[in-house]
Each structure stands twice: as structure tokens, then as C-alpha cells.
Chains A and B, each alone.
Chain A
Amino acid sequence: MLLALLVGSAQAAVTDVTLDNGLRVIVQEDHRAPVMVSQVWYRAGSMDEFNGTTGVAHVLEHMMFRGTKDVPSGEFSKRIAAAGGRENAFTNRDHTAYFEQMQKDRLPLAMQLEADRMANLVIRDDLFAKEIQVVMEERRLRTDDQPQSVVYERLMATAYQDHPYRRPIIGWMDDLKHMTAQDARDWYARWYAPNNATLVVAGDVKADDVIALARRYFGPIPARPLPERKPQSEPAQIGEKRIAVKVPAKLPYLLMTWHAPVLRDWQQDTTPYALQILAGVLSGNDSARLQSALVKRRQIAVSTSAGYDAVSRGPGMFMVDATPAPGKSAAELEQAIRAELERVRHDGISEAELARVKAQVIASDVYQRDSLFYQAMQLGEYVTAGLPPAALEHRVDKLRKVTAAEVQAAARQWLQDDRLSVAVLDPQPMQAGAHPAAIPGARDVH
């Protein structure tokens, strides 16, 4: 294979140290441009929430820009902007992360501000009242008015029976309506401690300098006891689940999801690597099976894709989605997808397909080095999910070792109907005011 020759150890060395207060510091040097990205990852996402206060991890993310004793509301962004930086944050199921992208010598400013809000956040009632309105608008924008997002949200709430992944990251609207500033304060007090955080810095920096700066700014923040994390295993699914989602829309849409394992022991596990290859065989570009069979050859779908994420704190899913072509029903499309999956289970994949997907994995590993931000993202995701940077370093080697037989075995074992949940979007007429009202609950007093 040609590609094997040219890409040796693509990944540069990663420095990984833990300060006395438990803050983990990871540095990826990359000297291509005089810039850096700094990210602070908290191991607290929507999966750590409780019923009644869903969305609080994300709401706290918003409040982190609303001021400390020394840096009042709006000032954080203003100072980063004045230094030519860009800053933002994101909350996911497994984590909440904050980042700054700046010229390399402005790292101290980023660290100083992040350390300040790690320890000194002030959540004012009046600012909270404004910000929770913003979050509700965000929910309307990203979920309530997006038919496919509604399908995803409802299917997750169905496919997971017990695990907190069943709850939307942004939270249920009713929980947002009743959230208080104290809920956000509690969340902050519970999880925002150096011993629950990882600082990832990538760019034109020296690892020793970064660590010295981290000691200086974050070092004085004391470690705090973290709440015990109870195991939250999802009970095995023992039969297919199916939902219809009726919202105003123009086209039907189909989303199928199977429970699947994720990477836990990166050296011993093989299935997650096989499932990644399987996703590549099915989807990912125009040469993949779902696209070529369903969109091009049979013209049953106008679009389709498969997805699988091997890295997460909680239980995994293998997903397929598709939009039917005009005149085709979601049911016909589902049958066609099932037939494609049955072909993999029954006949396996060809050596040519396997080599093709590996070639793409290897090439994209080189391409990814063009983006500093993405390099830092990957490190943060791996580490927050409990995997060492070595797991990322050896990712490509592990994928290279996957055999066609392993891919077939993974498809057989995991893409079974008993583990499957299906959602079908049933488009309703687009009339103004057609959105269904929530059923009023007992505590809905306004």
C-alpha cells in the first residue's frame, strides 16, 4: 500500500502533566503559525445533570461570561477581543469547554481570565434572568424550529431508557423555564474545580512555558472534593423501538440508531475501531455504500449518512439517517437501508473497500494537522472521556489493523434489530401557529 510509506509518526509529541491541585495540562506544540489555542475542559456535561434541571450545564456555560468580582459581565469577551483573540465555549453530553484563539504571546491573558472564572464566578439573579431568556431562544432556534433536530431529540429520549444521554444537552424547555440562579450556582460549586478540569494548549508555544504559566495562574486554586459519580449503565435493549414525530415540515426523514460499544481499553478493544471502519464503508463520501446504492443507483434517497463516535464517557450509538427521494416513502427507504446492512452482515466487505477507507483515514490524519483548533479538540475529547493522549496517537495504527472479518463481525453483533430504535418524521402542513402547545404540568403556574 502506497500510503503506508509516507505517513510515519504524523503526530508530534504531546506533553501531559498534572499539577498539585489536580489540573491536568496537555500541550501540543505546532510551530506553523505564530498563534495558539487554549481550551479549558470541565468534565461535567449534560450527562451529569438530574431530572428537573436538565440544561443546567449549558446554562452555566452562558453564565461563565457574565462576570466575576474583578471581571464584570461582558468584560471577559471585551478583553480577549482587545487582544485580538476569539473566544467561545461549548457544552456537550460529556463536558463543557471554553477556548481562546490568539497570537502566541497572549496566552497569559487567556489563562489569567480562565483561572479567575474557574474560582471566582458571581452569578447575579438579574443577569441570570436575562441569560436564561437567551438560552430559551437558543433552544427555539436550534431545536424547536428545526424538524430534524426535533426528531433527533425525541429519538435519543427513546433509544436510551435510563442513561442520562436520553436528555437533550440544551435541556427540556420546561426545565429552562423553571431554572433558577441557584441551580446554576450549585452546578458551578459541584464541578468547577481544577481537579475536574483539563487545560489543553496547542500552537506555537513551548510546553515548559505553558506548564509554568499554568502553575502561576491555576496553581493557587485549591482542589475540592468532587461528588461521587455513580455508574449509570444503560439496561440492554431487548426489542426494537419505533416512534413517529409529527411536526410541520416539507419532507419525511428517517433516523435509525443501534446501541454500540465505545472505546474503553484503547489497547485491547477492537470493536470500536471496526465500527469506525464500518461507518466509513457505509458513508462518509460519494464512494461509500449508502450513498452509491441508495442515492445514486436506486435513487430511493436524496441524502443519507452513517455515523459512529468511538469516544465518549457514556454508552455509544451507531446511527444511520436518510431523506427519501420524491415519491418514495420512509418505509421503502428503511427497507433499502436494512437490505444494505444485511449485505454487510451476510457477505462482509471487500478488501478494496477496506483499503479505501483506511487510505482516507490515513490521509485525513495528515489533513487534520492543518487545523490547530481541531488538534486541541481531539485531545480534549479523548482525555475527558478517560482516554490517554496515547490512544489518539495510535488511532491510525489501530484502524490500520482492522480486518474485513472484524468489520463483518461487528456489523453482525451490533446492528441487530433488538438494539435498534427508529424515528420517522411525519411532515405536517406548514400553517402558521401550528406548533403544538405543551401539556400544562402541575407546576406550570404562569
Chain B
Amino acid sequence: MSIKAFCIALLLNLPLAAHAALAIQHWQTPQGARVIFVESHQLPILDISVDFAAGSARDPAGQAGLAQLTHTLLDQGAGGLSDTAIAHRLADVGAELGGTFDRDRAGVTLRTLVSAPERNVALDILARVLQQPDFQPAVMQREKQRLIAGIREAEADPGSVAEKAFYRAVYGDHPYAHDEAGEPAEIERLTRAGLQQFYRIHYGAPNAVISMIGDISRAEAEAIAARLASGLSRAPAVASLPQPVAAAAMERRIAFPSEQSHVLIGAVGVARTDPDFFPLFVGNYVLGGGGFDSRLMREVRDKRGYAYSAYSYFFPMGVAGPFQLGLQTRREQTDAALAVARDTVRRFIAEGPTEAELAQAKANLTGGFPLRIDSNKKILDYLAVIGFYRLPLDYLDTWVAKVDAVDVAAVKQAFARHIDPDRLVTVVVGASDAR
């Protein structure tokens, strides 16, 4: 043992730095919006995220893209202000309005200085955008064209093509199957009335989760939440999505004029609230989640030089999100790389991690926990997830203990319950021998 190894052993035995528990406050506005708040006075800023169950999984049949277009149009004219007026007013006070959108969620984020003049202007805009979007026909037409152009552009990106095909293959008829951006032909047919109706149903107060962190008091936070929720519709909370059904094993090859093949392998995984989430998450660090520290990276990249990156992850969603394993490699060696990836995942599911690998995974995840909450931005992301998916308020306080509690048997059992190596879906984009 060198002196260096000794020093590292010492470091590992250090008690975890005392990460003061985040004091998360929670309440409901009279209109039924749920609020989740952390008071933080270290910087003179305020971050807000308002999220709705209005992601692309809510697109009605034949209208793929409706949720995305509705979300896009929120700040493109609202409450008597044009798109340009909104942009100018925000810029004048240095506020940043952003959006989040995926299959489950559609959200609006605001970052503003906390000083009253700036904050008031920024909150006024946020309220208008959430409560009174215009869905102006000319603007809608313009944004349709932009959305379609974005989809066309993605058609030249083998990674995007693979991702789209992967979700279709894994989810079949389930609402998670279609792409978040939608389908050009269906987008063309979307109407203003359709957008307004989608907005009324999905952007109601009982559907809203308001997350906040910043340099304000509880009383100020309550006033802000009440103001944001007050102008929203009272549309009842939307129903949960149906449970996805596991797909049969299949392999799809798509010809593409790229130097590399993009390989995706996977299956239906788990929901955010699945009791197996932590064993899967910790176990997956060993398989393909731990970056340079994972088996996939070692087998595919370090040992063979097949790819720049190789990874796997569980993407937990409202209902079961996907388990996905991916790599990109020179076309001629696609089958060789594919064989290594499949072999790695099969062996992992059969044998589980070694005790040493699991200890390493837990050391990294627990030791690295403070890095997950070292900025207001990162904390806001967690607050939004905790609120939206109704995770326990002490989620971050118990996170380290839950990771620590995972053992080899739990990982093996959880993988066995959720991932059948004989029923994986494979998508290869770039192969010249399309089949």
C-alpha cells in the first residue's frame, strides 16, 4: 500500500460533511395549487417554477404536438402584452423567463432579482403568462412553423432519430411513445380553439405546483403563490396516465447517412414513486450510470475503444419511464459493440454488482450528495420534482440513508423484477444494412 492509498482511506472515513437539512415548507393556496418553498437569503435572487401535468403524454390522439405548442405560446403574447412587450419588460429588469417541457410536465420558470421594483415587474409578467395567454392566430402560425422546422432539423441528427424510434418501440400505444415535439402533419392541423381548450383543462390551479427558492419570507412567498394561483382556472386535477405494458423483444435497424451508428437498448422501467427506485438507481451506477466508473464505460470505451460514451439510466416518470442503455460507434463495428453492451447488461442482471462495486457506488453517491444541492437552481429542480411527483417532503433528508440501505441482494432482486434481458428493445440508427 502506498502512502497515497492510505490517505484516500482516511478521506473515505471522514464523516459526511454536515449538510444541513433543507427546510422545505409546503402548503396549498385556496384555489388548490400546491406550493413548495425554501427560504434562502444568501443571494438577492428569487427562483420560481410553476409546473403542470401538461406534457406531451397529454396530447390527444391525432394531435401530437398540441401540448408543446400550447406551452411554447404561453409567453408569446399574454394579458394585453405582445410577445415583444413581454420580452422587453423582462429584459428591462434583468429577469429570465424559461420553460421546462417533457412527456409528463410543462412548466414555466422565472429567475429575478429580489429587489421590489424588479421583482414586481417580473412577477406581473409571470402571472400574465400563466393566467392570460392570448394564443394569437398569427403567432400560433409562426410558432407552428418553428416547431416543425425544429423537428425537421432533428431528422438530420442520428441521435434524435434513434431516441424517437426507441420510445416508439418501447411504448407502442402508450402516450409516452410519441415524440415530445409532436408530428409535423398533426401540428399543421392544430387550431386555436384546440389550444385554448388544452390550456383550460391542463393549466388549472388544482393541477399547478408552485416551487420557490430565494431571498423572501414565508409571508411573501404565500402572497406570491396566491397571486399566481388566483387567476388560473379551477379545472380539476387531470387523471393519471395508464400503465405502460412491457414490449416484446425486438430489434430495429434504420439506415442513415452517418459515420456512426447510434445504438439504444432498453425497456419500460419504473415510476418516480416505485419502491424499487433506489436499488435500481444505485445498481445502475455500477452498470452504466457512474460515468468513467461504470462497467459499460470500461468494457465499451476503455478496453476496446469502441465509443466515446456508453451509459445506462433509469428515467423515472409519472408512470413507468424507460430504462435505456446507449452508445455511438463507427458503423463497421456496430455489431461488435452491440454484442459487448448486451453481454454487459446480461451479466449484470444475472450476477448483480460485486460487494466492492456496490460499496464504490454508494460511496460516490452519498459522498457526492452535497453537490446535488449546492445551488439555488439545483434545489429548485428538486423542489419541482418533489412537488410534481408528490414525493415525501423529507426526500432530500432521507436520500443518503436510502442509498446507503441498498445491498447487493436488493439490486439483484430489483433488476430481476423490472428488466428481462430476453425482452429488450434494440434500435440501431446508422446501420447501412437496414432491416
Contact = CB atoms under 8 A, between A and B. Distances in A.
A109 B156 contact: no
Given A137-B260, A325-B146, A370-B377, 5 more contacts: A70-B2, A102-B368, A105-B17, A286-B90, A435-B257
A144 interface: yes
A81 B91 contact: no
B22 to A, nearest CB: 11
Nearest to A133: B305
The dominant DSSP class at the A interface is: helix
Given A3-B94, A34-B17, A145-B258, A112 B7 contact: yes
A250 interface: yes
A123 B308 CA distance: 19
Given A248-B156, A356-B88, A34 B370 contact: yes
A287 B158 contact: no
A376 to B, nearest CB: 13
Given A6-B44, A137-B330, A147-B156, A82 B360 contact: yes
Contacts of A135: 308
A74 interface: yes
Contact of B360 (A81, A371, A432): A81
Q: Which of A132, A147, A291, A430 has the most CB of B within 10 A?
A: A430
B148 interface: yes
Interface of A: 2-3, 5-6, 32-35, 65, 70-71, 73-74, 77-79, 81-86, 101-106, 108-109, 112, 116, 129-138, 140-141, 144-147, 248-251, 285-287, 291-292, 295-296, 299, 302-303, 323, 325-326, 355-357, 359-360, 362-364, 366-367, 369-372, 427, 430-435
Interface of B: 2, 4, 7-8, 11-12, 14, 16-19, 42-45, 75, 83-84, 86-88, 90-96, 111-113, 115, 117-118, 142, 145-146, 148-150, 152-153, 155-158, 255-260, 290-293, 298, 301-309, 328-330, 360, 363-371, 373-377, 432, 434
B91 A367 contact: no
30 contacts: A34-B18, A34-B370, A70-B2, A78-B360, A83-B8, A84-B363, A102-B367, A102-B368, A108-B7, A109-B11, A130-B305, A134-B308, A136-B330, A137-B260, A137-B307, A140-B260, A141-B309, A144-B260, A248-B156, A250-B156, A285-B90, A286-B83, A286-B86, A296-B84, A302-B146, A363-B93, A363-B113, A364-B96, A367-B96, A430-B257
A430 B156 contact: yes
Contacts of A434: 257
Nearest to A147: B156
Contacts of A302: 145-146, 149-150
A432 B429 CA distance: 10
A401 B420 CA distance: 64
Q: Which of B84, B365, B434 has the most CB of A within 10 A?
A: B84
B373 to A, nearest CB: 7
A433 B87 contact: no
A141 B375 contact: no
Contacts of B329: 137
Contact of B305 (A103, A134, A367): A134
Contacts of B364: 81-82, 84-85
A353 to B, nearest CB: 9
Listed from nearest, the 8 A-B pairs whose CB atoms lie closest are A84-B367, A363-B94, A133-B305, A287-B87, A286-B87, A432-B255, A77-B292, A33-B374
Q: Which of B43, B259, B328 has the most CB of A within 10 A?
A: B259
Contacts of A359: 91-94
A431 B370 contact: no
Nearest to B328: A141
Contact of B153 (A65, A78, A133, A323): A323
A378 to B, nearest CB: 15
B45 to A, nearest CB: 6
A70 B2 CA distance: 8
A85 B14 CA distance: 14
B410 to A, nearest CB: 21
A292 B292 contact: no
B360 A130 contact: no
A136 B329 CA distance: 10
A83 B11 CA distance: 7
A359 B113 CA distance: 11
Contact of A79 (B8, B258, B306): B8
Contacts of A33: 370, 373-375
A367 B309 CA distance: 32
Contacts of B291: 77, 81, 86
Contacts of A78: 292-293, 360
A326 B143 CA distance: 12
Contact of B7 (A102, A109, A129, A299): A109
A299 B367 contact: no
A144 B330 CA distance: 11
Contact of A432 (B42, B75, B93, B256): B256
A145 B157 CA distance: 7
Contacts of B2: 70
A103 B367 contact: yes
Contact of A3 (B19, B118, B375): B118
Contacts of A138: 308
Given A106-B11, A285-B91, A369-B43, A133 B260 contact: no
A133 B368 contact: no
A304 to B, nearest CB: 11
Nearest to B285: A81
Contacts of B369: 84
A299 B259 contact: no
Contacts of B88: 287, 356
B371 A134 contact: no
B434 to A, nearest CB: 7
Contacts of B330: 136-137, 140
A432 B434 contact: yes
B156 to A, nearest CB: 5
Nearest to A433: B432
Contacts of A108: 7, 11
